[in-house]
Amino acid sequence: MQRVFSGIQPSGIPTLGNYLGAIRNWVPMQDTHESIFCVVDLHAITVWQDPKELAAQTREMAAALIACGLDPHRCILFVQSHVHAHARLAWIFNCVARLGWLNRMTQFKDKAGKDRESASAGLYVYPNLMAADIHAYHAVKVPVGDDQKQHLELANDIAQKFNHDYGVEFFPTIEPMIQTVAARVMSLRDGSKKMSKSDASDQSRINLTDDADTIALKIRRAKTDPEPLPEHVSGFEGRPEARNLVGILAGIGNTTPDAVLREHGGKGFGAFKEVLAEALVAHLSPIQAEMNRLLEDKGALDAALRLGAQRAAAIAEPIVTEAERLVGF
């Protein structure tokens, strides 16, 4: 079985974007791939995290992943800081990657905003750590949202340069597995920005833990234009908010925007938003119930994460130790 690796930051409550773009697609991989999923707390501190909140959010994220269908016995599920191989390989990659490569990363520009001088150095080298996450396992497939494509290209550049510099074929080429439906869920307030758990405005996203009233309110307030829904996807041209809301319903219902428009094309957004909110509530409420149950059983969750870390380390330790030997350590 091919090995897949993917990570998610405990930098907030998981959003509908994380769910449709990532988590939901990880669930079937447990049966088709050797699957490794990681709550990436090292990545989270590239922007300020309150220590108590970080610890709580790390557990919440793990509970959310299990509630969404990741089974700690059918995949390797763990917390990044529990396996030291990630940080060790990341340092080597900091010395392999070139500044010019990092300068091209659009996510840094988005996340650092206008005041780049005040961004952490960690935020800048974030893609090197992400490359280490994957290469520490010799993983070849990486399921990510479309927002991470550029980082994966960089991970391949790093692997190639490492192999070239040290004269070995050590790190394999990795391939992104990018979902086509709802590959990128956009902010509810601004159709040009992706929905993110770390966005300042809570109104911009649906959190997996939002209750029915909150979901209904956020969807009702979601930005739209005054036109009714188009009859066909070609009508999304210049209408990113309309495209996004239709894409979300398609994602939740496991169908296509075309199919959604066959049913709802021509409707006003008032009516469509009610349908969408109802579908979201129906889909998310069983996940929320399971998440709450898991969070109440602290011992069981911690034991599952400890087991995950042991299984992850068993794979990553020998690989990273060999990389260190190649470097001359």
Q: Encoding tokens for residue 121? A: 């150095």
- Looking at beta carbons only, is 128 or 323 nearer to ligand ADP? 128
Binding-site size, ligand ADP (CB under 6 A): 20
**145 annotated ligand binder:** yes
Whether 186 and 244 have beta carbons less than 8 Å apart is answered as: yes
- Residue 197 annotated among the catalytic residues of the structure: yes
> Is 194 one of the annotated active-site residues of the chain?
yes
Q: What minimum distance in Å lies between the beta carbon of 43 and ligand ADP?
A: 7
Task: List binders of ligand ADP among 167-186 (CB under 6 A).
Answer: 184-185
Phi, psi for 7 (deg, rounded to 5): -135, 160
Would the annotation count 308 as a binding residue? no
Which residue stretch of 128-136, 141-149, 152-160, 240-248 sits at the interface with ligand ADP (rule: CB under 6 A)? Answer: 141-149
- Beta strands 34-39 and 76-79 are parallel
Looking at 11, 30, 46, 156, which residue binds ligand ADP (CB under 6 A)?
Answer: 11
Among 4, 18, 46, 97, interactor with ligand ADP by CB under 6 A:
18
| 197 labeled part of a ligand binding site | yes
Catalytic residue chosen out of the listed positions 52, 149, 161, 197:
197
- Is 57 assigned a ligand-binding role in the annotation? no
Per CB under 6 A, the list member of 3, 135, 194, 264 interacting with ligand ADP is 194
Contact status, residue 214 vs residue 267, Cβ threshold 8 Å: no
Q: How far is CA 196 from the centre of its chain?
A: 9
> Under the criterion CB under 6 A, does residue 198 sit at the interface with ligand ADP?
yes
Identify any residues that bridge with 79 across adjacent strands, giving them in sequence order: 39
List 114, 149, 194, 223, catalytic entry: 194
Is residue 161 part of the annotated active site? The answer reads no
Q: Is 297 annotated as a binding residue?
A: no
Encoding tokens for residue 77? 């599920």
Could you tell me the two tokens for 142? Answer: 């990486």
- Single out the catalytic residue among 111, 149, 193, 223: 111
57 binding ligand ADP? (CB under 6 A): no
120 annotated among ligand-binding-site residues: no
CA torsion 102→104→108→109, rounded to 10°?
Answer: 150
- Alpha-helix runs per DSSP H in the chain: 16-18, 24-26, 29-32, 41-44, 51-67, 85-96, 99-103, 106-112, 121-135, 149-166, 212-221, 240-252, 257-264, 269-296, 298-327
Among 35, 80, 196, 207, binds ligand ADP (CB under 6 A): 196
Three-class SS state of 77: strand
Catalytic positions, please? 111, 194, 197
- Binding site residues, ligand ADP, CB under 6 A: 6, 8-9, 11, 15, 17-18, 21-22, 144-145, 147-148, 184-185, 194-198
